[in-house]
A and B are shown apart, each in its own frame.
Chain A
Amino acid sequence: MSIIEKALERLEQSDIRTISESRGPVVAPSTFPREATGEGLIGAAWEAGESLAPTVAAPLRTSQMVALDLKALEKQGYLTPETMHLPRADEYRRIKRPLLLNAFSDAAKKVKNANLVAVTSSVAGEGKSYTSLNLAMSIATELDRTVLLVDTDVFKQSLTKTLKLSEHPGLTDFLRTEGADLADYLLRTNVPNLAFIPAGRLDYQIAELWGSGKMQQFMDELARRYPDRLVIFDTPPVLAHASTLVLTGLVGQVLMVVEAEKTDQHLVTESLRVLGDNVRVGLILNKSNQRESADYGYGYYSQ
């Protein structure tokens, strides 16, 4: 732990410097030796693929490191590695099992982009962002998995705002910048195994952006390059933004959050219909007031 903390301190310093030094679409890459970040599998680096950064000769590029205010997150009700002992952490544990199974089992190899998971819902406020972050935190605690959280809700950018990373350029910037290096956009965090890509500048042609070849390439790269990594996309509501449907078409799994006691049944059915049969959808009942233990003996998790 002490090693990591020290490393983090250094990272923070460099982070501040980076931001103050340059303002613009392309951030001067700060290079960290792999060793400097400790043993963390993901925290080490993001290597830009050849196709994504053809102009860059393949030197080892490492991404920027950011520190999340975990205490503040905790206060807002989010899970952090420190609070994984809480009963509600179990609820995410139970959800991530099938999710990881779908993503990494042998059977999953046949499914395209099985490790890309879009978290969506029918309408606003059902808890997509909340669930995305908590799920990401939970998976980050896995020993042999890494997780990349991508804020694709360009309109609200709630994750980016929650993590206080609005200053950083994000996915839309990456996609729109000629010859951009993803390593410059990806942010490593003080949570080991958790990386984050902010939303980026608001763009009203999001559907087209998601539908672009570059996006396609980006997604394929994400899926292929790191087979132990799960990528979680926080998206806008299905019924509110057509762009979401483009995105769900690019991922291997869709998690649909349903707010208990609030969301109309027919809205959920409608969303499922809109998503179509080609996506693998799993539902999450959020903000439930019924204790899980009532649901057929799943209660053994929560002591």
Chain B
Amino acid sequence: MREQFEQLKMHLWMVLHHRWTALGAVVLVCALGWAGLEAVDDRYQVEAKVYLDTKAALQPLFQGPNGAQTWSPQQSALLIKRTLLTRENIERVINETALKMKVKTPEGLDKMVMSLAERIRVKRLMPAVDEEANSRNDTPADIYSISFESTDRELALNVVKSVLDLFVERFSYLTKTSTKEAAEFLDREIAAYARNLGEAEERLKQFKLDNPGVLLGANGQTYSQRVEALQSELEAAKVSLREAEFRATALRVQIQNMAASRVPVSVGGGVPGQTALDQQIATAESRLSELLLNYTEQHPDVIGLRRQLAEMKEQKAKGLDVPAGGAPVVYAPATDTSGARLLLTEAEARAAAMKEQIALKEKQLLDLKPLAETVPKVEAELARLNRDYEVIKATYAELVHRRETISLSAGAQSAGGDSMFKVIEAPRLPLVPVGPQRELLTTAVFLAALALGTGLGWMRSQSRPTFYTRNQLATISGVPVLGAITMNWSVMEVARRQFGMLIFGMVVLALLAAYVGMLMHNGYDIKPLIKTIVEPFRMIQA
């Protein structure tokens, strides 16, 4: 113990030996530290407080209505922060505040968003001490604090305001008063949109009616689609026509060949008094009446058949007919040509029908041609009307949905009387800075300077170690020490030393005064301290 005490004393003495070095370091560090502290700007904090029922706020977001999950204050604060501070929202905050000026590049924006996500603090302060609230709900309702620190207090205010807006937007449905208002508002909106929707519908219908030729599209076909369809139909008709004509030609050749090899026969099977032409006419007529049952006079098949009938009757009138039976010599065809003839008739009828069709399609195409310019405009207008209509319809649906949500949450909170969301404390422009903690830092700098100075003095004594005590000398040298002779200061030296000490003491006092001065300058109220020091003396005097 004594040993340690001696050691301590020795080291103290060693440091004291370098007291000017130490004091110099202390003064320098203090000066630099305090000047640095002066240079640091004040930081202001803006805070807003909201009362928010955690359960009511988080349950719809993170689980079904029947979930029984509870969140720790940290968790809930984090969840709410995540919900609010999405990237878009932070960008919105930036755009709404002076921070916008600071963003120059997309990377800068990225950085700003990240730093804001860090710096905007959402904290759950405490479970509400409201007994009533506690008894009403299993989970106590909470107070959340939204805060932001900056050297620019206007900015801090605006940021918090902006975030508070986000808060209000997100959770306002939990406010009872606003629920009613929102419901009324939504009802009005829904009514307006219903009207809008009707009008849009009407406009669309009217437009379609106004452009009937253009907008045949019962099946929703556009102009170009229709032209294309017509053209392909035309092509198909032409192909069919060629086929039919080819077939007819082939049949005619076949019939001619058969007629050339006709042999006289007595007509057995033929209806007496009737020629082949007569039979054909009869068949065609029965077919015609058959067709007329299904088609109108305009049908190409009907028209074709009629024309054929007329032809045949003409032939018969010219006497080209051959009697069907009897007569002196009857040249019956080697083969019976009536089947082929029937096929020929049919082919010819088909060809005629195709011709009709082609003519019709061509006419239709021709009719469409002048519309080529107006149609795209009309169609664009139609598309616009359609879009308008869709948008209005979607908005309307959303409004209706929201109205339902509000009804639900209103139902959920119907048990309680208070709202589950309320802004308790609006952000205000701060007058007193929160940082830096100047009093504390002034002291810290002072203590650090003292430590540093002492350390430096000690280090100097260690860098070139000398002997301070007789024991030290004996221990280190390993040689017996016969004795120690104290310094015999002369009067002059004593005076000089005392003067030096006086100066040293004065510098130390000045430093202390500077410290107290800095403390006071940085807002420390010294009066109570003085009072506590002076008070005992007063008591003694009294």
Contact = CB atoms under 8 A, between A and B. Distances in A.
Nearest to B464: A264
Interface in A219-278: 255-256, 258, 260-265, 268-269, 272
B487 A294 contact: no
B482 A283 contact: yes
B485 A127 contact: yes
Given A265-B476, A269-B476, A290 B468 contact: yes
Interface in B413-460: none
Contacts of A127: 485
A258 B465 CA distance: 13
A291 B486 CA distance: 7
The residue among B468, B487, B490 with the most chain A CB atoms within 10 A of its own CB is B487
B470 to A, nearest CB: 5
Interface string B450-492: 0000000000000011111111011011011111111110100
B467 to A, nearest CB: 6
A289 interface: yes
A91 interface: yes
12 contacts: A77-B490, A92-B485, A260-B466, A260-B467, A261-B467, A284-B482, A288-B486, A289-B468, A289-B486, A290-B10, A295-B471, A295-B484
Contacts of B185: none
Contacts of A261: 14, 17, 466-468
A94 B490 CA distance: 23
B481 A285 contact: yes
B467 A94 contact: no
Nearest to B469: A290
Contacts of A134: 485
Contacts of A258: 467, 473
Contact of A265 (B10, B17, B467, B486): B467
B6 interface: yes
B524 interface: no
A179 to B, nearest CB: 39
Interface residues of A, number: 38
The residue among B480, B482, B490 with the most chain A CB atoms within 10 A of its own CB is B482
A282 B482 contact: yes
Contacts of A77: 488, 490
A95 interface: yes
A167 to B, nearest CB: 27
A194 B96 CA distance: 101
Contacts of B490: 77
Nearest to A78: B488
A144 interface: no
A99 interface: yes
Say which size band chain B's interface belongs to. 20 to 34
Interface string A48-65: 000000000000000000
B482 A98 contact: yes
Contact of A283 (B6, B14, B480): B480
A264 B483 CA distance: 19
A287 B493 CA distance: 13
Nearest to A86: B488
A269 B477 contact: yes
Contact of A286 (B10, B479, B485): B485
A88 B485 CA distance: 7
Given A256-B479, A288-B487, A294-B469, 20 more contacts: A94-B483, A95-B483, A98-B480, A260-B487, A261-B14, A263-B466, A264-B464, A264-B466, A265-B465, A265-B476, A268-B477, A283-B474, A284-B481, A285-B467, A287-B486, A287-B487, A289-B487, A292-B470, A292-B483, A295-B469
Contacts of B504: none
Contacts of A94: 482-483
Given A283-B473, A283-B474, A262 B466 contact: yes
Nearest to A127: B485
Contacts of A36: none
A269 B6 CA distance: 23
